[in-house]
Amino acid sequence: MSLPCIAAARRFDATRHLPFMIGDLQVGWIRRQDVDLLARWPEFFELRELTVTLAAHLNQVETRSAALGQVIDALAASGRITGWRHETYAIRNAFDDAPLAFIERAASPFFGTMTYGVNVNGVVSVDRGAAGHETSMWIARRSPQKQVDPGMLDTLVGGGIGWGCSVPQALVKESWEESGIPAELASQAVIGRTLHILHEVAAGTHAEQLFIYDLELPADFVPRNQDGEVSEHRLSRPDEVLQCLQDGSMTVYAGLSVLDHWLRSGHLNQHDDPALEGMAALFAAPLWPQPA
């Protein structure tokens, strides 16, 4: 069995990047090829051989945020940061940590800072008659207009968590917007595990802690997208979903969410297939790997 999403989740070469530091704390990764772009702001960054450090005089959340905001606006104006979201993300290495600064969501990959998201596996117990009951899964197809992974297959619900929104609030919000799931039903979702993803993307580095949930849905429930970000939904058998994982037509994050559900529910055993061995590392506490 080939599962490209597992390898993709940690496809990261630390030697191609420099740690981005606030004080003595690493909070992200900046590609070496992008470091020179920051040289025009010597008052904000200390560019060293092995690190990029925010200037020590920026010692408050407000001053850090203002300085980074100025840089981000300039990089966006030059086309280096694209896909503006008008959404605020906090720089923090764990979801419950106090924020060190605030930045526009679109700038997160440039600085490689930790982001947070929620995915919901929508599952349905389907009566197959003499064959018994089978757990199928609702799969969404992302709109071709999406900025990230357009047209790819996805979990029923998935989205980033902006500043000021709790994980349960994000779950309810995204459930309604993406699939028309009412709040009272969405709130019945059961939390699974947290995945820790670090991989290189076109815009820089994607670092994310992804909170996985499972939601049992009534057999007569039909998802309906509300915000235009999903082009279709389809109820799929496990073998159909597995084929999507193997052929790479599902996003990395959705594939990992599905695998987490199957491992927890006993549909798969992590020790049965070498392709699943890499999953264990994705549930470990997130660490910033250091260059060799």
- Residues 192-214 have pLDDT tens digits of 999 999 999 999 999 999 999 99
The alpha-helical segments, DSSP class H, found in 59-155 are: 61-77, 108-111
Residues 89 and 218 in one domain: no
Residues 192 and 213 in one domain: yes
Residues 155 and 31 in one domain: no
User: Between the CA atoms of 197, 12, 202 and 97, what dihedral angle is there, to the nearest 10 degrees?
Assistant: 40
pLDDT at position 283: 84
H or E element at residue 177: helix 167-179
pLDDT at position 284: 75
Does 288 fall in a domain?
no
CATH number at residue 149: 3.90.79.10
Asked if residues 163 and 90 have their Cβ atoms less than 8 Å apart, the reply is yes
Residues 106 and 248 in one domain: no
Residues 122 and 95 in one domain: no
Q: Which among 102, 170, 141, 94 has a CA at the least distance from the CA of 251?
A: 141
pLDDT at position 96: 94
Does 222 fall in a domain?
yes
Distance set, CA 237 to CA 41, 89, 118, 127, 275 (Å): 54, 36, 23, 12, 21
**Dihedral sign computed on CA atoms, order 5, 10, 15, 18:** positive
Q: Which of 70, 97, 113 is at the close of a domain?
A: 113
Domain count of the fold of the chain: 2
Residues 107 and 142 in one domain: no
Residues 224 and 256 in one domain: yes
Residues 45 and 153 in one domain: no
Residues 37 and 82 in one domain: yes
Q: What is the Cα Rg of the chain in Å?
A: 20
Q: Which residues pair with 125 in a beta bridge?
A: 135
Q: Which of 57, 87, 113 is at the close of a domain?
A: 113
Query: Which parts of the chain have pLDDT scores under 50?
Result: 290-292
Does 89 fall in a domain?
yes
Residues 83 and 145 in one domain: no
Does 275 fall in a domain?
yes
Does 48 fall in a domain?
yes
Parent domain of 231:
115-282
Asked if residues 271 and 280 have their Cβ atoms less than 8 Å apart, the reply is no
pLDDT at position 292: 38
Tell me the per-residue pLDDT of 19-69, one tens digit each, with 9 for 90 and over: 999 999 999 999 999 999 999 999 999 999 999 999 999 999 999 999 999
pLDDT at position 291: 43
pTM of the model: 0.92
